[in-house]
Amino acid sequence: MARALEAANPGLAVVVVPVRTRGDDPGRAPLGPAGVKGLFVKEIEDALLAGAVDLAVHSAKDVPSELPAGLALAAAPERATPFDALISRGGAGLAGLRPGARVGTSSLRRRAQLLAFRPDLEIVPLRGNLDTRLGKVMEGELDATLLGASGLRRLKGEGYPVLTVDPALMLPAPGQGQLALEIREGDGGIASLCAPLDHPPSAVALAVERAFMEALGAGCQTPAACWARFEGGDLLADALVCELDGSRVLRASGSVPGSPGAVAPAPAGTGGPPAGGAADPGGDGLPGGGAARGLGRRLAERLLADGGGAMIARAERGL
């Protein structure tokens, strides 16, 4: 991202400041079912608020739906694939795994959807870096694991064999495969530097997914999923909430006609209120006021009305 910023702003010299977060600590204690909001972003946001850095680059799925006061999302670069990838011995897909296969994941979303499709599977909690997770499969301790396809390709290269899971079986997490650029609210200079990297279709889709999670009242460690995208000139979104054991899955879909420019206002650029500001006081800086965020909220409200809130509460209590 540093090189992309420099390429988009000739003469700019970007200094990368590494910030270690609690989520990066391999020795941390395992999380409870509900996880911890902001586990991978809090220390970075603290540095941003303190002025130690001017721009934060996050994996969007790690950014809580409610930002700290004084911060805003300035841009969403073009999204990579949002889907999950299955890594298994022998390259078997989900349907081809042996009965009772051991599948490693600590994601409640993945766990619930796996069990909804294959209730015979044994889900094994799995932490560690990418090589640790892959090693447990290759060495036979696990039959398979699920990882974000975009992160796997970024770390292992495009030539690495990736078996993408059909979103009809495994709907992705909100923000999966998406980067989010965060700045101090009102910092027009940094916003203008980020503006060339913003990809309106990706930014609008992210706004839908973040609005869904905000209205659902759920954190990133919940058995909920949402995927928004543009198809045939319309904004489409699918969402779900699952029982932790996969015994019940609630689904909702919706659409808004129009192109990215028609669905949401343009990015803020330099100065002025964040995009989505006046039209959408609950916005976080991304384009996506009005119709786009409204779509995400409607999907959440539909699932809550069908009992999704109780399902999430049970999952977060580990029931």
The predicted model gives 199-216 an average pLDDT of 95
Using a 10 angstrom Cβ sphere, with 0-12 exposed, 13-18 middle and 19 or more buried, the burial of residue 302 is middle
pLDDT tens digits along 125-163 = 998 888 989 999 999 999 999 999 998 988 887 777 779
Catalogue the active-site residues: 62
Confidence of residue 273 (pLDDT cuts 50, 70, 90): very low
Tokens coding 49:
């608020």
pLDDT tens digits along 34-85 = 444 567 899 999 999 999 999 999 999 999 989 999 999 999 999 999 999 9
Q: What are phi and psi of 74, to 5 degrees?
A: -95, -30
Check pLDDT > 90 for residue 306: yes
What is the pTM (predicted TM-score) of this model?
Answer: 0.87
Concatenated DSSP letters for 48-76? HHHTS-S-EEEEGGGS-SSPPTTEEEEE-
CA–CA dist 133, 146 (Å, integer)? 9
Instruction: Kindly state the percentage of the chain with pLDDT values over 90.
Output: 67
The predicted model gives 173-183 an average pLDDT of 96
Q: What residue ranges do the domains of the chain occupy?
A: 2-80+174-316, 84-164
CATH of domain 84-164: 3.40.190.10
**Residue 270 or 189, more confident:** 189
- At residue 76's C-alpha, the angle toward residues 75 and 77, to 5°, is 115
CATH of domain 2-80+174-316: 3.30.160.40
